[in-house]
Amino acid sequence: MGAIDDWRIIEKKAGSIDGTDTAPHDNAVYRAMFATSTGLYDPLGDSKARGNPYCIVFIGRLSKETTESTLQEVMSRYGRIKNLRLVRHIVTGASQGYAFVEYETEKEMQCAYEAAHLIKINGNQVLVDYNRQLLMSGWIPRRLGGGLGGRKESGQLRFGGRDRPFRKPL
């Protein structure tokens, strides 16, 4: 199956939730398909994604001033940290606002997942979630059109994040 055929399949799936529209609701579907078909995003090919995915939490919405030592200090309250990676810009070295923390055991990761969600670090309320990149097959980051957190009422296809869980329609 070629790239053109893949686009047609995605277009059919990209309409409204009730299935009446076939036109994409936004450019997110195009970005996601383009990223996967051209090889710009491959979750298994990320050399920096290492460790046990069942022991890793994602921390988002971090302040640009947050450092590895600050993050180490705050997240070590919930368990023994095996590895911590604050994602930085390749050229400037500035924080990108998110990090991955690997704990020694799955129980410690679960404790951090439950207790650290929405705590304040350097004045920002952070989001703590599972490392979905390695746990969910077919996961595409939000920057490439995937992700969770849309609203069902708006007609988006990506909904059901941690902050706004899925609700059955009325």
In contact, 101 and 42? CB cutoff 8 Å:
no
Hey, is 22 helix, strand or coil? coil
> What's the burial of 143, exposed, middle or buried (CB within 10 Å: 0-12/13-18/19+)?
exposed
Which residue is listed with tokens 């399949």? 9
Alpha-carbon gap, residue 8 to 59, rounded angstroms: 35
> What's the burial of 77, exposed, middle or buried (CB within 10 Å: 0-12/13-18/19+)?
exposed
Which residue is listed with tokens 């996961």? 139
Domains assigned to the chain: 3-44+137-152 (no CATH), 47-135 (3.30.70.330)
Residue 71 φ/ψ, nearest 5 degrees: -65, -40
**What pLDDT does 11 receive?**
43
DSSP 65-128: T--HHHHHHHHGGGS-EEEEEEEE-TTT--EEEEEEEEESSHHHHHHHHHHSTT-EETTEE-EE
Query: Tens-digit pLDDT profile for the chain (170 aa)?
Result: 444 444 444 444 444 555 565 555 566 666 666 776 777 666 555 666 678 889 999 999 999 999 999 999 999 999 999 999 999 988 999 999 999 999 999 999 999 999 999 999 999 999 998 887 777 766 666 666 666 655 555 444 454 556 555 556 66
